[in-house]
Amino acid sequence: MKFGNVDFDTYFKNYPDANGFFGKYGGSYIPPELQRAMAEINTAYQTICKSRRFISELRRIRKEFQGRPTPISYLERLSGKLGNVQLYVKREDLNHTGAHKLNHCMGEVLLAKYMGKRKVIAETGAGQHGVALATAAAYFGLECDIYMGAVDIRKQAPNVARMEILGANVIEVTEGLQTLKEAVDAAFAAYCREYKDAIYCIGSVVGPHPFPMMVRDFQSVVGIEAREQFLEMTGELPDAIVACVGGGSNAMGLFSGFLNDPVDIYGVEPLGRGTALGDHAASLTYGEEGIMHGFNSIMLKDENGEPAPVYSVASGLDYPSSGPEHAFLHDLGRVKYDVVTDDETIDAFFELSRMEGIIPAIESSHAVAYAMKLARKMDKGSILINLSGRGDKDMDYIIEKYGVRKG
Ligand SMILES: *Cc1c(COP(=O)(O)O)cnc(C)c1O
C-alpha cells in the first residue's frame, strides 16, 4: 500500500535508513564518545536480531515468562452502551509486570547478554521503566543501575521498593530539580564511563539511533499478535486502531502491525488541563521540529527553544517529545494524532472498570477515552484499542484525587 511517497509494502526495510532517519526525523545527535557506544549496540543488534538462537530464545521467554500472547477482549457492554460500533482491547495489561514495557526490556537485556555485558543502565521517572528493566535484569542475572531523581524517589516509594527487591541499585540523583531530566543526564554520564561493561536501555521509541528502531522491533510483537488474533476472532481487520502516545512505544508496537492495511490509525496524546504550554504533553499536536535527548523529532519548546515543562494526569505520558517515527507518520498523514483531556481520561478509566471489569492504567485510559469518542461518531465498524497497562499502580492517586465514584 502506498501512502504519499511511502510504500508500506517495503516500509520496514527502508525505515529507518542506515543512519536511523525516518525522513528528516531521528538520527543520532550525541557526543563522539557516546556515538562509538551506539555504533557498537547498532552493529550487535543488526547481527544478533537475525540469529536463530536470539529469535527462538526471545520467543520462548515471551511465552513462558511474559505470558504471551496476550489476548484480545471484546468489550460487549461498553460497545452496546455507545451504539453500533464494536470495541476491542489488546490486553497488554496481562503481560507480566502489568504493562507493555517488558516487551522491549526483555529484548534489550537479552541483547546485553548476547553482547557479553554484565550490567544494564537506565533512568526512570515514575519508576515503571525501572521496574520493567529490573525484572528483565533479574531474569538474566545482570546487574542493573537505575538513576532516579531524589524527588521522584520520595514520590514513588512502592516502585523504588520493587526495583530494590528485584535486586537493582536505585541511584539517587540530587542535581537540579531532582526529577526525570536530571536522571537522564546522570544515566548517560554513567553510560559514558561504563560502556565497556554495560549497555544503556531506553524506555520508549526515543533517543538516538538505534533505540527507536530496536524498541519498535521489540514492541512489534503486539501488532503482529493483534492482527492475527483480530482476523481470527472477527474474520476482518478492525476499521480503526487506537493507542496512547507518550514516547510512543506501545503505539508503535500496535501500529507496526497495521501500517500496510486499510485501517485508520489514531495516536492519542494527553491534553492534560488544557491547551496552554505547561498544561499538557501533546507534543505532536502542538509542538515543532527540534532536537532533544539525541534525536530530531517534534517537540514542545519553551521561549528559549529548550524542552518545555509538560503535564499529564498520567506520569507515563508527560514527555515533551515523541519518537521520531511518530513525527514521520504524523507529517505523512498515515497516523492521525489527536488529544483527550485529563477529565475525559478519568471518565473512561471508571467506565471501563465498571462496564467491563478491567481497571486500566491512566495512560491507557487516554486511548479508551478517544475510542469512546470515536465510537459515538462512527455509525458502524470496529475499533481495536491497545490497553498498554493495568491500573493497579494508579490506585492510591485515583482514590486520593477522585474517590471511588460510587453509584
Ligand atoms: C510507560 C507507559 C506508557 C507510555 O509509554 P509509551 O512509550 O508511549 O508507550 C503507556 N502506558 C503505560 C501503561 C505505561 O506504563
Do the beta carbons of residue 268 and residue 339 sit within 8 Å? yes
From the list 366, 319, 400, 387, the residue with the least C-alpha distance to 70 is 387
Pocket flag, ligand 1, residue 364 (CB < 6 Å)? yes
Instruction: Say how many Å lie between the CA of residue 131 and the centre of ligand 1.
Output: 13
Q: Which residue's alpha carbon is at the smallest distance from atom 3 of ligand 1?
A: 316
Coil, strand, or helix at residue 100?
A: coil
Q: Which residue's alpha carbon is at the smallest distance from atom 2 of ligand 1?
A: 316
Domain boundary (179, 211, 243) is at 211
Instruction: Say how many Å lie between the CA of residue 5 and the centre of ligand 1.
Output: 30
Shared domain check, 391 and 292: yes
Q: Which residue's alpha carbon is at the smallest distance from atom 10 of ligand 1?
A: 363
Rounded Cα distance between 88 and 107, Å, is 27
What phi and psi, each to the nearest 5 degrees, are found at residue 210? -100, 10
Shared domain check, 230 and 134: no
Q: What is the pLDDT of residue 33?
A: 83
Based on the structure, what is the number of domains in the chain?
Answer: 2
Shared domain check, 90 and 117: no
Q: Is the pTM of this model over 0.85?
A: yes
The half-sphere exposure of 222 on its side-chain side, counting CA atoms within 13 A, is: 35
Shared domain check, 128 and 186: yes
Q: What is the pLDDT of residue 11?
A: 98
| 101 is annotated as an active-site residue | yes
Q: Pick the catalytic residue from 101, 113, 301, 393.
A: 101
Instruction: Say how many Å lie between the CA of residue 132 and the centre of ligand 1.
Output: 12
Distant-in-sequence, close-in-space partners of 47: CB < 8 Å, separation ≥ 6: none
Q: Is residue 12 part of a domain?
A: no
Pocket flag, ligand 1, residue 294 (CB < 6 Å)? no
Report in angstroms the alpha-carbon separations of 272 from 216, 278, 310, 311, 318.
26, 9, 9, 6, 9
Q: What is the CATH number of the domain that holds 43?
A: 3.40.50.1100
Q: Is residue 193 part of a domain?
A: yes
Q: In what order do the strands lie in the sheet with 240-244?
A: 72-74, 86-91, 382-387, 240-244, 264-272, 335-341
- pLDDT means per 10 residues, the chain with 407 residues, are 95 97 97 91 95 97 98 98 97 97 98 97 94 98 97 92 98 92 90 94 96 98 98 98 98 98 98 98 98 96 94 93 98 98 98 98 98 96 98 94 83
Domain boundary (211, 239, 269) is at 211
Shared domain check, 116 and 90: no
Range of the domain at 398: 67-99+221-402
- Amino acid identity, residue 97? T
Q: What is the pLDDT of residue 407?
A: 57
Shared domain check, 197 and 328: no
Shared domain check, 81 and 201: no
Pocket flag, ligand 1, residue 316 (CB < 6 Å)? yes
Do the beta carbons of residue 273 and residue 317 sit within 8 Å? no
Pocket flag, ligand 1, residue 112 (CB < 6 Å)? no
From the list 407, 310, 315, the residue with the least C-alpha distance to 361 is 315
Distant-in-sequence, close-in-space partners of 403: CB < 8 Å, separation ≥ 6: none
Rounded Cα distance between 219 and 108, Å, is 11
Q: Pick the catalytic residue from 108, 123, 269, 351.
A: 123
Site of grid cell 504493562: 99
| 269 is annotated as an active-site residue | no
From the list 265, 252, 251, 284, the residue with the least C-alpha distance to 386 is 251
Burial (CB count <10 Å: 0-12, 13-18, 19+), residue 2: exposed
Q: In what order do the strands lie in the sheet with 143-149?
A: 169-173, 143-149, 119-123, 198-200
Q: Which residue's alpha carbon is at the smallest distance from atom 13 of ligand 1?
A: 389
Site of grid cell 514520590: 155
- Amino acid identity, residue 281? A
Shared domain check, 230 and 190: no
Shared domain check, 131 and 53: yes
From the list 298, 275, 271, the residue with the least C-alpha distance to 287 is 298
Q: Which residue's alpha carbon is at the smallest distance from atom 14 of ligand 1?
A: 316
Instruction: Say how many Å lie between the CA of residue 251 and the centre of ligand 1.
Output: 9
Q: Is residue 129 part of a domain?
A: yes
| 388 is annotated as an active-site residue | yes
Pocket flag, ligand 1, residue 132 (CB < 6 Å)? no
Rounded Cα distance between 133 and 129, Å, is 6
Shared domain check, 269 and 231: yes
Q: Is residue 189 part of a domain?
A: yes
Site of grid cell 526471545: 58
For residue 16, whether the previous peptide bond is cis, meaning omega lies within 30 degrees of 0, is yes
Largest CA distance in the chain: 59
Rounded Cα distance between 8 and 148, Å, is 39
Write out the DSSP string of 168-193.
PEEEEE-STT-SHHHHHHHHHHHHHH
Shared domain check, 50 and 161: yes
Residue of 363, 368, 397 best suited for mutating to test ligand 1, as the one with most atoms within 8 Å of CB: 363
Residue of 96, 244, 322 best suited for mutating to test ligand 1, as the one with most atoms within 8 Å of CB: 244
Do the beta carbons of residue 192 and residue 33 sit within 8 Å? yes
Do the beta carbons of residue 238 and residue 286 sit within 8 Å? no
Shared domain check, 47 and 92: no
Domain boundary (183, 211, 239) is at 211
